[in-house]
A and B are shown apart, each in its own frame.
Chain A
């Protein structure tokens, strides 16, 4: 019953007027950021994170704001998928397949409301999962030593390599660029300045926010120049605004199954909302598509990926909170937010600062309710945001990004550096390097090196310690399986297909 007590305490934190107001503001901002094509949860959280810090919010309040933004983005992405057939963020790609045809049939209101509802179910189911599993995992992880942590982080990186892109080499290179950037600055063990080129601005390393804003927001601005998304026709929401009982009954089983599945996919480090919504859509289609209605506006094709998308976003909090290894790009950025407060997430957080952990978990419940309440009546207002022209929107993004960067150290140097990263990020993204891997590498860089060196100090330089314990050995095997497995499966499938054809 400990958990219940902590949870009640958490609700005490979440229900303070300030935190409630922040959850509202975050949900609102998040929905708008999520529905704007090109801007995803990482941009929203990255821009708000330093601002929340500069405003002097206490850590749990800052985390509640950022979590509400994250949730809000997952809700918002579906609006543009359904109304203009352009997914607002990566997790909402699948929603467009059936959502847009539904809207064209005059069922936009139904599609929007059912997806808000299934997003809510996904979010709540996953938050319950978080309550049940997070303390267990945290307890278990307390026994982790540096060698286990090192293996865990390699596992997280391997998960990315196997799943995120079609070419693991590119994912690995992106991670390595991130890891290398993390080496810049004074080495805390020896006091040696690495790659600072005698510049005072680099002495304590490259700022996290500079890297995130550069590689995500600035590069996004440059990418937006290539799209001519101006003059999108938005489908008017006419007719029924709400789904009926029949439709709800029809979607219930797939929504629930996708929520549970999405949560567990989200828990895996590296596998995020994109993968879980894709899997949920595929599975739902395979089970229910008897008459070929999927792709032509089947309501289950809208609800299932949305449920999974939101569930996995919540699930990705599990590894971040319990292990200190983030499960998605956005939770990586949130870890950066905690770092601003000198808080290291991980198993100790549950013991030392339960008000942060449980306040966050409780606010996830609150945030989902807020989002459901906001999203059904205000959908018309949110849809209007899609008509803001890029000529106004883009300078706004640039200014807000610059405020975020400037608020940390107040130097021109950081601003210039973030633009330089933006140009590099543009080139990397054109070449299809996954940016979420780069940022994960950067966030893990310091921990990975510290744990490796600590482990080797313990063993006096004997490398065997890295895979000595059963836990680390399992993680190493898992890492190899993650790297080798997916390409092998792909090749097998291709071979079989070739056989079938031949």
Chain B
């Protein structure tokens, strides 16, 4: 119940921000009755109404936030995924994927050995499979000078 209320308040703010940005959307020359501004404003208004309903009449949702250790895992995993996104081009797909598989695998309870060997295998096999076999171009990153030619 409290969670719905908090979310409703946050989303009210988001809707307000969206409406505030949308107010500035004006077409230089207007030749249609409904310009670029109306629909976003309508959505923002409707979202605010929905959010307000959640604030005023929150239901008891059968859900619970995870316990301390799981929260820790979730934050770490989200951070790892974000790091993976940034490292994808820079380190290149094979290296970044091997690192991700090692670290994320550890969070999911794998042993160092299986995660490390699995990560190296995954980085190489998936790269060969997608880039070489299926023609989906993936970045080599730091490995570029070694294999890219």
Contacts and interface: CB of A to CB of B under 8 A. Distances in A.
Contacts of A394: 104-105, 108
B7 A406 contact: no
B74 interface: yes
B105 to A, nearest CB: 4
B86 A416 contact: yes
A369 interface: no
B13 interface: no
Contact of A173 (B50, B100, B110): B50
Contacts of A410: 137, 139
Contacts, number: 187
Interface in A145-177: 167, 169-170, 172-173, 176-177
Interface string B60-93: 0101011000100110011001101110110001
A55 interface: yes
A416 to B, nearest CB: 5
A190 B119 CA distance: 49
Contacts of A280: none
B54 interface: yes
Given A225-B74, A230-B109, A419-B78, 5 more contacts: A170-B54, A180-B40, A394-B105, A399-B100, A456-B33
25 contacts: A55-B135, A176-B47, A180-B44, A180-B47, A189-B36, A194-B25, A195-B22, A222-B78, A224-B108, A225-B77, A226-B66, A390-B109, A392-B110, A395-B101, A403-B93, A403-B138, A406-B139, A407-B136, A410-B137, A418-B85, A430-B3, A430-B65, A431-B4, A453-B32, A461-B34
B122 A396 contact: yes
A63 to B, nearest CB: 17
The A contact surface, by secondary structure, is: helix
A54 B135 contact: yes
The SS class assigned to the B binding surface is helix
A246 interface: no
Place the interface of chain A in its size category.
Answer: 35 or more
B16 interface: no
B134 A192 contact: no
Contact of A416 (B26, B82, B122): B82
A250 B105 CA distance: 47
A422 B88 CA distance: 17
